[in-house]
Structures are given as structure tokens and as C-alpha cells.
Amino acid sequence: MSPVASVPSIEDEPAVTSVDDFKKTYFEECAELLDALYAQLTNLAEQRADDETMHAIFRAVHSIKGGGGAFGFDRLVAFAHVFETLLDLMRDGRVAVTPDVIALLQRATDALSDIIDAARTGREIASGFEDELAAALREAAGGAGPGTAQQTPLRPQAEDGGTVPRRYRIRFSPRMEMFQRANEPLLVIRDLKRLGKVTVEADLSRLPELAAMEPEQAYLAWTLEVETTAAKAAVEEVFEFVSDDCELKIEIETDVPVSGPTTASDRPAGRALPQPPGTGSPNGSISKPGARVEGPAAVQSIRVDVDKVDRVVNLVGELVINQSMLMQFGRDLPIDTAPALINGIETLSQNLRELQESIMAMRAQPVKSVFMRMPRLVRELATQLGKEAHLVITGEATEIDKTVIEQLADPLTHLLRNALDHGIESPEERRARGKPPKGTIHLGAEHRSGRIVIEIADDGRGIDRERVLAKAQSRGLVAPGASLTDEEINNLIFLPGFSTADNVSNISGRGVGMDVVKRNVQALGGRVAVESPAGSGSRFILSLPLTLAVLDGMVVAVGKETYIVPLTNIVESLRPKPADIHPVVDRGDVLAIRGAYVPLVYLHRSFAVPDAVTDPCLGIVVIVESEGGKRIGIVVDQLLGQQQVVVKSVEANYDSIDGVGGATILGNGRVALILDIARLRDAQRRSPRSETQAFVSSSPGMQ
């Protein structure tokens, strides 16, 4: 043991922060691995599995376990180990893949996710939380030593081998650069000690003269003898994280009879990939590199701090502003004076646009990361509610800005809860209606004209419009006797304080859900719409911008002010004839356009802008459409041109402004406000009276 005692200084070396960093990375990896795990389990459940599926599942659990061991998350390791044992048997085909087993695996993944979460937050889960599942897993695996993992959490491998102690002789010679990879032989040896009695003999032959010694190089090598009941895989696993950085030779001195279930787990763990013959050869020598779970081929991506990407995004934003400024100067020059300059600016704009798209693509992530959390939610809720539901996910590869993704989880959770609680009927009720007892919820994402559209559709009972209307009237949200269209009634559920659930459950029905959904989605610059054809379920449609950072806008002038209308909202712009403008009592003006009537919003009145064109027939009407298909005509003085703008927050330093979604900086360096069409409409609706009065008092002189 003396050589071990001679290196205590190194033990203190890894600074606390760096360990925390590693932990952070580990948990990030865990999150990814869990996503992969859920994805593969879905494949398995939907019989889309191939040979690789089981391997991938095993690998994910194994990697989680391996990392967890390195940080001493014993509980996590113990559970992952039981899980892994079953998976190992499954990939060997020794345990059949049945729906029951898949359901068990899903529940085990849920539990594993909770345990990881607990380890991450440092929160303790109730003891015995995973016992039942662990027992079920063991039972599925053929009852390999029930209870051992719980009793000896520090040595989860103990159950692998029999009770016969074996002696391993290990030759462990780190490469010189081992320390640079943040590996520490002492920790490995300590880990080994947990398996049993260890005798250490240091090999000092590589140690140079003191003067020639590089303190950051590993000169020592060790011969270790371990007496343990653990399987060889367990011993190899101790070295898993250093195996790339050392010469390692593990030999079994005292051989033991190998029988039954042990063979499966006696193979070198962590080698889920098909192995070249010889790696698992009887003498057990490992000739690595490349046997790590994440082989070199998998490294197609790099981890970059989001802040760093954001900094680039901001810089590109500044460049875009700069470029539009140059563009403006360029336009003012006579074309024949500086054609090369103009050309140069044109090229610059093209390149910039590409640069911007690339950097946005970097921030984009598939919605999968949030979609993958949903099957669990549906599973758990369905059980809780005594309903049966199947979640079908499509378009999970659709990419969207990272910040948008992060904020999608809440609205989606609410909507799925709502679908399960209010939409899907109980199995009996469904049978009575001639529907399959198991309900289907569809969660889909797709790109549609520069936005991402997410749909949550269920085949449940749909919106009971009579009840919704009655409820809204009883709450004073709708005037009694008002006649509303189906669509208007559907939209009542988004009103604050609305709830139709007769029994308030802890799942939904507190009436806080839908208006929060709407607000969350609006905060992302998105819209929610709902469709519910009578009796055939309901469909919620979320439309979100791909990114929060840039948008294509139409620059419009009102008086001395300049505003941006998001291009995605614009249907058309026109200068109407006086005959097409009709005043409607108490509602303001409408514009007749091809047989339809579009209400007009005078921006100069909404925003109290002086010196603006007040007659729409002298200005321009921009017809815009927000989600749900409602159209309004915004009256402005003139259109100044189309431009890509970088969205800046007004709220950061000020407050939210009615009808304004953000701000941007124009080529001349001035700030221009970006209109939020949906909130502009709302603002209108809220004060129709004052609007009309203003109209009445100002219009006679004009018309």
C-alpha cells in the first residue's frame, strides 16, 4: 500500500470546480442518453426495432451507470446495474421482448430519470422508491440474486459472480499523458479496493532523475492483486475511464467455475458494439483504444456553451444593422459613381444572410428533446386517470431555436394534460361510442412557411360548445344572449379564469391551464388556435417563429414614426377607393375587399401619432392575418420597404407595450418598434368605444 500513500498530493489536485464541471457534463450527457433511451424504447414498442436498438438501449444505460460510478452516485449505479442486467440478457435474446417487458423498461427508464434528477439536484428520493421496480427487473431477468443490489449498493457487481473469491492480477501502466486527461490512478485503485482486498506493488522503473521529472506526467506503473468475488467485467469496469490512457492487462489467477446467468454478464461490459474476435480472449487482456462506448465515429459534434453561440448571434445582429446602414448610404449614391461599392454591398448582404442563417441553424435543435419527455407524461397520467391513451409523435426532428424549445415544455405539458383529462374518454365510454378503448393523441411538428407548427390532436370527445358557452356566461365572460360562432366559443377556453371541469382534479381543471398556455406561447411570439369539429376530438395548433432573433419585416411610416410589420402576417397591401370604406356603427370602419369585410385599424389613432395620413384612401392599408385567420387592415401613411430586422427586447429595460412585440434598430441607427398583430387586435377590441368616438369626432372633416 505504500506507493499509494506516496501520491496523496495528487489526490487533492482536481479542483472542486473542475469536478463540478465534469458532473455538469455528465448530467448533460445523461439527459441526452435518456432521450436516446426513450426514443429507442418507442422504436421497440412500435416494432421498428432492429439489431442496433437493443444495443443502443443497453449502451445508454451502461454509460449512465459508468459515469454515475465515477461520481459515486451509488444509488443510481445500483439501479442502473439491475436495469442493465436485464438489458444484457435481452440483447442476447435470452429474455424475450414482450410488451410487458417493454412497459417495464419504460417504467424503469422513468425511475432512472428521477434518480438521475435527484443526483443532479442533490435532492433525496424516498428510500425504497426504486425497490419495487428493481425487484421487477430482477424477476424479468430470471431472479438473479434478489435483493443483493439493495443490500450492497457499494458493490453492485458482487452479485455477478458466485461466492467463490477469485484473484485477479492486474498490470496497470498509465501512459505518460494520463494526468492531462484528468485521470487519476489513485481513484482507480481506490475504486478497485471496493471490490475486495487489494495488494499494490508499484513499478518505479520509469521514474527519471528528479531534475528530469515532469510533474504532470505519469511515471509509475502498478501491479495490483485483487481478491474479490466480483466478475471480471466488474474489474474491467473500474478501468473503463482510463483504459484509453494506459496499458492494461487483467488476468484471473484463481479460476472459478462459470455457470448459467453469469456468462452473459461476464463478458467485458460496455462493449455493446459487435466486437472483433480476440478482445474478449480468455486471458482477458484488453487491447483498447476505440472500445469506449462512444467510439470515434460518433464524435460528429462539439459541445459549445450557449453563451458563446449567443455572443456570435448578437454580433451577427450588429453586422446586419451595419450592413443595412451601408446599404442605405449606397442607395443615396449616384449609381455611376461607385458601382463597385454597390456591388460589394450587395454581396455583403448575401453573405451576411447566409452567415445569419448558419448561426441560427447552430442554435436550432430538434424538438425531439422536449417531445421525448411527453410519452412518460401521457403514460403516467393515463394510469392516474384510469384511461388508455397512445401518444403518436411525428416530426420530432423538426428544428427550432433552442430558447423556443426550452419554453415549449410547459405549454405542451398543459395541452397534453388537457387532452387526457378533458378530451380522451374513459375506456367504457369510448366503447359505448364505438371507438377503440385506447385513445390516440397525436403530437406533431412541422415547418410551415417560415414558422414551426405544433399540433396536439386527440380523438376524444372534443369541445362541448354548449357547456363552454353556458360556463362562460355564468362567469360573466360572455354577455347573456350573445351569439357566437363555433370558433369564438372554442376560443373562450383561453380566457383567464375559465374552467369547465366539473370536478377540479389535480391534473387539470383549475382553470389556470389554457390561458397560461396562450400567454406562454404568445410570449414566444407564437399563437394558439383550436379546432374541434363536433364529436371528433380537438386539435390545438401552436404556431411559433423559428427564431426569436430575426424576422423579415415591412417597414411602414406613420407620421414621423417608423414601424415594422412582420412579413409573415402580411397578406397584401393596397390603397383603397373611398367607396370601399364603410363605417359600422360602434365598430369603426371596415374595408370591403373582394366581397369580404376587413376591420380597419388606424395605427395613428392606436398609437396616438401626430401628423399622420388619416384618410386610408390617401395612405396604404396593410392587410394582415394573425393565427386563426382573422384579418385586419392596418392604416399607415406609406410603405418604406422590406427588410430583415434583428429583434431587440423593449421589455428588458422598459415594459411591454400594447401592440408592440419588440424593437429593432434601423439602418439609420434609430429604434423602430415591431408590431405585434395579435395584440394590436386585442388592444383594439378592448377599447372599441373610445376608438369610435375618436373616429366620430375626427371623421366629418375628412370625408
Partner 1 sequence: MRSQQNQAGVHDNQVAAHEKSGADEHSHQFMTFTLGAEEYGIDIMVVREIKGWTETTTIPNAPPHVRGVINLRGVVVPIFDLRARFGMGQTEPTKMHVVIIVSNDARTVGLLVDTVSDIISVNQDSIRPVPEMGLPTDDNFLDGLVTSGERMVTLVSLERLFASRTGRLPTIDANSGAAPLETGGGELAQAS
Q: Which stretch binds partner 1 (CB under 8 A): 514-522, 580-588, 621-629, 658-666?
A: 658-666
Q: Name the residue among 268, 265, 230 with its Cα closest to residue 95.
A: 265
Closer of 377 and 657 to partner 1 (Cβ): 657
Closer of 386 and 669 to partner 1 (Cβ): 669
DSSP 285: B
Single out the residue of 121, 127, 653, 703 in contact with partner 1 (rule: CB under 8 A): 653
Q: Give strand pairing partners of 617.
A: none
637 is a site residue for partner 1 (CB under 8 A): no
523 is a site residue for partner 1 (CB under 8 A): no
Closer of 416 and 622 to partner 1 (Cβ): 622
DSSP code per residue over 271-284: --SPPPTTTT-TT-
Q: Give strand pairing partners of 508.
A: none
Determine the angle formed by the axes of helices 409-418 and 513-523, rounding to 10 degrees.
Answer: 150
Single out the residue of 331, 582, 670, 686 in contact with partner 1 (rule: CB under 8 A): 670
Q: Name the residue among 466, 633, 462, 450 with its Cα closest to residue 546.
A: 450
Angle at 306 between CA 305 and CA 308, to 5 degrees: 70
What's the half-sphere exposure (Cβ side, CA atoms, 13 Å) at 387? Answer: 24
318 is a site residue for partner 1 (CB under 8 A): yes
| Minimum distance of partner 1 from residue 608's CB (angstroms) | 6
606 is a site residue for partner 1 (CB under 8 A): yes
693 is a site residue for partner 1 (CB under 8 A): no
Closer of 496 and 535 to partner 1 (Cβ): 496
φ, ψ for residue 240 (rounded to 5)? -55, -45
Q: Sheet of 539-545: strands edge to edge?
A: 389-394, 439-448, 451-458, 539-545, 527-531
677 is a site residue for partner 1 (CB under 8 A): no
Q: Which stretch binds partner 1 (CB under 8 A): 99-107, 108-116, 326-334, 669-677?
A: 669-677
| Minimum distance of partner 1 from residue 17's CB (angstroms) | 24
| Minimum distance of partner 1 from residue 490's CB (angstroms) | 29
| Minimum distance of partner 1 from residue 359's CB (angstroms) | 16
Q: Which stretch binds partner 1 (CB under 8 A): 56-64, 279-287, 368-376, 650-658?
A: 650-658
| Minimum distance of partner 1 from residue 355's CB (angstroms) | 17
Closer of 433 and 686 to partner 1 (Cβ): 686
Task: Provide the grid cell at 520.
Answer: 406562454
654 is a site residue for partner 1 (CB under 8 A): yes
669 is a site residue for partner 1 (CB under 8 A): yes
Q: Name the residue among 342, 399, 433, 684 with its Cα closest to residue 545.
A: 399
Measured distance CA(306)–CA(314) in Å, rounded? 12
Task: Please count the residues of this chain forming the interface with partner 1, following the rule CB under 8 A.
Answer: 29
317 is a site residue for partner 1 (CB under 8 A): yes
Q: What residues contact 205, with CB distance under 8 A and at least 6 apart?
A: 221
681 is a site residue for partner 1 (CB under 8 A): no
Q: Which residues between 552 and 581 bind partner 1 (CB under 8 A)?
A: 561-562
| Minimum distance of partner 1 from residue 652's CB (angstroms) | 7
509 is a site residue for partner 1 (CB under 8 A): no
Q: What residues contact 424, with CB distance under 8 A and at least 6 apart?
A: 382, 387, 389, 430, 439, 441, 458, 459, 460
Single out the residue of 284, 411, 659, 661 in contact with partner 1 (rule: CB under 8 A): 659
Q: Are 667 and 673 in contact (CB under 8 A)?
A: no
Closer of 359 and 416 to partner 1 (Cβ): 359
Closer of 239 and 607 to partner 1 (Cβ): 607
Closer of 69 and 588 to partner 1 (Cβ): 588
Measured distance CA(463)–CA(443) in Å, rounded? 18
Single out the residue of 607, 626, 627, 681 in contact with partner 1 (rule: CB under 8 A): 607
657 is a site residue for partner 1 (CB under 8 A): yes
609 is a site residue for partner 1 (CB under 8 A): yes
Task: Provide the grid cell at 244.
Answer: 484509453
648 is a site residue for partner 1 (CB under 8 A): yes
Q: Which stretch binds partner 1 (CB under 8 A): 284-292, 338-346, 468-476, 654-662?
A: 654-662
CA 573 to chain centre: 38
5 is a site residue for partner 1 (CB under 8 A): no
Closer of 453 and 665 to partner 1 (Cβ): 665
Measured distance CA(420)–CA(555) in Å, rounded? 44
Place of cell 363555433: 486
608 is a site residue for partner 1 (CB under 8 A): yes
| Minimum distance of partner 1 from residue 32's CB (angstroms) | 34
Single out the residue of 307, 466, 502, 655 in contact with partner 1 (rule: CB under 8 A): 655
Measured distance CA(342)–CA(321) in Å, rounded? 17
Q: Are 38 and 372 in contact (CB under 8 A)?
A: yes
Q: Which stretch binds partner 1 (CB under 8 A): 24-32, 132-140, 276-284, 659-667?
A: 659-667
Q: Are 387 and 427 in contact (CB under 8 A)?
A: yes
| Minimum distance of partner 1 from residue 659's CB (angstroms) | 7
652 is a site residue for partner 1 (CB under 8 A): yes
Buried b (16+ CB within 10 A) or exposed e, 106-115: bbbbbbbbeb
Closer of 296 and 669 to partner 1 (Cβ): 669
Determine the angle formed by the axes of helices 99-121 and 74-91, rounding to 10 degrees.
Answer: 160
Single out the residue of 6, 199, 474, 649 in contact with partner 1 (rule: CB under 8 A): 649
650 is a site residue for partner 1 (CB under 8 A): yes
Q: Which residues between 319 and 348 bind partner 1 (CB under 8 A)?
A: 321
667 is a site residue for partner 1 (CB under 8 A): no
Measured distance CA(201)–CA(228) in Å, rounded? 18
DSSP code per residue over 621-680: EEEEE-TTS-EEEEEESEEEEEEEEE-B-STTTS--BTTEEEEEE-TTS-EEEEE-HHHH
Coil, helix or strand at residue 190: helix
DSSP 506: S
416 is a site residue for partner 1 (CB under 8 A): no
Q: Which residues between 184 and 203 bind partner 1 (CB under 8 A)?
A: none
What kind and span of H or E run contains 472? helix 465-474
Closer of 260 and 669 to partner 1 (Cβ): 669
| Minimum distance of partner 1 from residue 459's CB (angstroms) | 43
Q: Are 222 and 207 in contact (CB under 8 A)?
A: no
374 is a site residue for partner 1 (CB under 8 A): no
Q: What residues contact 521, with CB distance under 8 A and at least 6 apart?
A: 411, 527, 528, 542, 544
State how beta strands 451-458 and 539-545 pair.
Answer: antiparallel
Closer of 457 and 673 to partner 1 (Cβ): 673
Coil, helix or strand at residue 155: coil
| Minimum distance of partner 1 from residue 70's CB (angstroms) | 38
Q: What Rg value do the Cα atoms of the chain yield, rounded? A: 33
312 is a site residue for partner 1 (CB under 8 A): no
691 is a site residue for partner 1 (CB under 8 A): no
Instruction: Point out which residues bind partner 1 (CB under 8 A).
Output: 314, 317-318, 321, 561-562, 606-609, 648-655, 657-660, 663, 665, 669-673
